[in-house]
């Protein structure tokens, strides 16, 4: 455990710690471009030069291992001069096209110029022209002139995605980042190179020219793309909706969580934001495809339900639920339908298709965000857990009505089979966010919000409970599922349903020990809590 002094502050660090990491533990940020905690050390940018006593020259903080008795000065005149000069070299061939660069506003070149640069360029020679606007793959576009050759992206493809698409070619000031001939940057994690690129060399094709980053607000959230539950940051527009094609959510960015996803997310999750506000969203309640107001549609739905129950009994109704609902929604559904109405057929299990496989980085075969909680919550009372079984019983005429909670059965069972099975139903409710074969097969459609428009918690495949806040307000006439449950309970004259997710989670914790640990912030706390191990 060496003890070293950085800027007159002493710190004890584990053996093998780099100086830059030791400084970070003290809250001192040493400017850097090529260093990334998840990647190997390259030492190519030379921005992190610091003065270490008894060293003959300045040393790079990212590669120098902290040793006992080391005395480091990060802000000495020599170090500062070195930094400023290094930045001047890095900017020597920079095209200064910040006005058209999507990185502007979150660019490390801009940031360090304003904090440690502020120099006047002393270079007189013409700048080197390089490749501009070169498409590297389905998601990434390259501008070589902006590249500072830090090689973070090269190391990412070599060490993390292990797909080896990128390399640095040529020599001297003709060095250029390019993809290997015939190899497109199309690995399932390719979007991450945009995140780690400290400058505007690699930018997102999907985000290109959509909105300037300083118009975006951010909230932490949890990706609902698969059972991994990657921690993400949702960047959204709060005003100026003429940008981003009039949509509020502009992009997902990974949020560092060493226990779940590290620094990364997969491309499927990164671009899953697009469906959140696409034209398939259900925005108004419908009866038989005709839009109506909430009151009239709810009244009709409740009447159909009551009539059916008095004629056929509650056991002829099946609840088909998506395994992507939040813990709170599943618990409320179980309280309302399983315990309250004594419905015995609650199905959520749909086997993942053969094309879905776990990989050894992040991607999980199970595309539902919350299967773990569904197994915990519904198992106790349900007698028909597989959707396949419910479908078969419907086709046999034993099940005469469906209540579908945001489940899209089409991909797993085929649109025709769903439509045909639904024809024999006496009545059907669809409480969900998107228009699909299942929603079209159902009589009463009640639009619910997607995960960015509601608060809740989800449990990932490892049983980790993670909280996500409501990022934006509900789109159109959609309502959070908990509120729809409350309205339905009122119509069906059932006990009142709690709509505050924090209180629902409390009740959930009382019923299931797995959820006993508090996860919601105390009401006065301002910041949303990050994930916690259950």
Partner 1 sequence: MATQNTIRVSVRRRAATLSFWEQVYLFEVIRGLWITTHHFVLNLYYHILKLFGIRKTHPLTPTIQYPEECRPLALRLRTLHRLARRDDGRPRCVACMMCETVCPALCIQIVAAAVDDPNIEKRPKSFDIDIGKCVFCGFCVEACPEDAIRMDTGILDIASYSRGGMVLDIDRLLSLNAATERTDKEVDQLQKWLLQ
Rounded distance between C-alpha atoms, residue 508 and residue 515, angstroms: 6
Show contacts with partner 1 in window 128-167 (CB under 8 A).
132-133
> According to DSSP H, which parts of 167-229 are helical?
192-196
The residue from 104, 158, 309, 528 that contacts partner 1 (CB under 8 A) is 104
**210/398 with CB nearer partner 1:** 210
Chain CA centroid to CA 32, Å: 26
**246/354 with CB nearer partner 1:** 246
The residue from 119, 212, 383, 503 that contacts partner 1 (CB under 8 A) is 212
**71/104 with CB nearer partner 1:** 104
The residue from 15, 100, 299, 462 that contacts partner 1 (CB under 8 A) is 100
The answer to whether 217 touches 240, Cβ cutoff 8 Å, is no
Residue 240 near partner 1 by CB under 8 A: yes
Dig out the tokens for 194 from the structure.
């945009």
Rounded distance between C-alpha atoms, residue 411 and residue 427, angstroms: 23
Query: In the complex, what is the shortest distance from the CB of residue 127 to partner 1, in angstroms, rounded to a whole number?
Result: 13
Between CA 481 and CA 487, with CA 482 as vertex, the angle to 5 degrees is 95
Ranges assigned E (strand) in 143-200:
166-169, 176-179
Nearest to 481 by CA among 455, 507, 458, 462: 455
Dig out the tokens for 502 from the structure.
């924090």
123, 128, 129, 130: CA torsion to nearest 10: -130
Rounded distance between C-alpha atoms, residue 427 and residue 449, angstroms: 23
**100/462 with CB nearer partner 1:** 100
Q: Which residues pair with 9 in a beta bridge?
A: 6
The residue from 242, 289, 354, 423 that contacts partner 1 (CB under 8 A) is 242
The b-or-e profile of 354-367 (16+ CB within 10 A means b, else e) is: eeeeeeebbbbbbb
**117/229 with CB nearer partner 1:** 117
The residue from 11, 41, 98, 116 that contacts partner 1 (CB under 8 A) is 98
Residue 99 near partner 1 by CB under 8 A: yes
**179/187 with CB nearer partner 1:** 179
Query: In the complex, what is the shortest distance from the CB of residue 215 to partner 1, in angstroms, rounded to a whole number?
Result: 8
Query: In the complex, what is the shortest distance from the CB of residue 104 to partner 1, in angstroms, rounded to a whole number?
Result: 8
Identify which range of 85-93, 206-214, 360-368, 458-466 contacts partner 1 by CB under 8 A. Answer: 206-214
User: How many residues lie near partner 1 (CB under 8 A)?
Assistant: 16
Residue 15 near partner 1 by CB under 8 A: no
Residue 243 near partner 1 by CB under 8 A: yes
Query: In the complex, what is the shortest distance from the CB of residue 136 to partner 1, in angstroms, rounded to a whole number?
Result: 14
Dig out the tokens for 259 from the structure.
């226990």
Contact residues: partner 1, CB under 8 A: 97-100, 104, 132-133, 208-210, 212, 214-215, 240, 242-243
């Amino acid at each position: 455990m060496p003890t070293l002094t950085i800027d007159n502050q002493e710190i004890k660090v584990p053996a093998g710690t780099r100086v830059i990491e030791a400084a970070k533990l003290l809250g001192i940020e040493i400017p850097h471009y090529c260093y990334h905690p998840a990647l190997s050390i390259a030492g190519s940018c030379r921005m992190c030069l610091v003065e270490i006593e008894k060293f003959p020259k300045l040393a790079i903080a990212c590669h120098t291992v902290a040793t006992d008795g080391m005395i480091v000065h990060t802000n000495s005149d020599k170090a500062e001069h070195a930094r400023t000069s290094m930045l001047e070299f890095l900017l020597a061939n920079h095209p200064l096209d910040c006005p058209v660069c999507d990185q502007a506003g979150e660019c490390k070149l801009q940031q360090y110029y304003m904090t440690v640069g502020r120099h006047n360029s002393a270079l007189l020679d013409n700048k080197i022209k390089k490749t501009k606007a070169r498409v590297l793959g389905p998601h990434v576009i390259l501008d070589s002139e902006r590249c500072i050759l830090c090689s973070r992206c090269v190391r990412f493809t070599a060490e993390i995605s292990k797909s080896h698409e990128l390399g640095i070619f040529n020599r001297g000031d003709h060095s250029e980042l390019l993809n290997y001939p015939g190899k497109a940057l199309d690995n399932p994690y390719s979007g991450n190179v945009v995140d780690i690129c400290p400058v505007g060399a690699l930018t997102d094709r999907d985000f290109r020219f959509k909105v300037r980053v300083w118009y975006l607000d951010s909230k932490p959230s949890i990706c609902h793309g698969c059972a991994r539950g990657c921690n993400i940051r949702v960047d959204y527009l709060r005003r100026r909706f003429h940008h981003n094609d009039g949509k509020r959510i502009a992009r997902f960015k990974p949020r560092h969580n060493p226990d779940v996803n590290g620094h990364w997310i997969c491309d499927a999750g990164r671009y899953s934001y697009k469906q959140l506000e696409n034209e398939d969203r259900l925005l108004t309640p419908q009866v038989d495809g005709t839009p109506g107001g909430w009151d009239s549609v709810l009244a009709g739905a409740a009447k159909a339900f009551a009539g059916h129950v008095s004629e056929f009994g509650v056991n002829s109704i099946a609840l088909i639920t998506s395994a992507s609902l939040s813990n709170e929604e599943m618990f409320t559904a179980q309280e309302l339908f399983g315990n309250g109405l004594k419905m015995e057929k609650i199905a959520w299990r749909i086997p993942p298709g053969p094309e879905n496989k776990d990989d050894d980085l992040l991607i999980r075969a199970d595309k539902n965000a919350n299967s773990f909680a569904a197994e915990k919550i519904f198992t106790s009372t349900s007698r028909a857990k597989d959707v396949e079984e419910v479908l078969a019983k419907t086709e046999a005429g034993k099940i005469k009505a469906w209540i579908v909670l945001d489940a899209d059965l089409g991909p797993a069972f085929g649109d025709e089979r769903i439509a045909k099975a639904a024809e024999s139903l006496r009545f059907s409710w669809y409480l969900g966010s998107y228009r699909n074969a299942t929603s079209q097969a159902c009589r009463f459609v009640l639009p619910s919000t997607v995960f960015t428009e509601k608060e809740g918690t989800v449990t990932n495949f490892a049983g980790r409970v993670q909280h996500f806040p409501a990022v934006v307000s509900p789109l159109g006439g959609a309502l959070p599922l908990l509120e729809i449950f409350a309205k339905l309970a009122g119509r069906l004259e059932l006990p009142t349903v709690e709509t505050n997710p924090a209180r629902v989670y409390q009740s959930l914790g009382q019923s299931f020990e797995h959820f006993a640990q508090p996860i919601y912030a105390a009401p006065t706390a301002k910041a949303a809590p990050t994930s916690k191990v259950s």
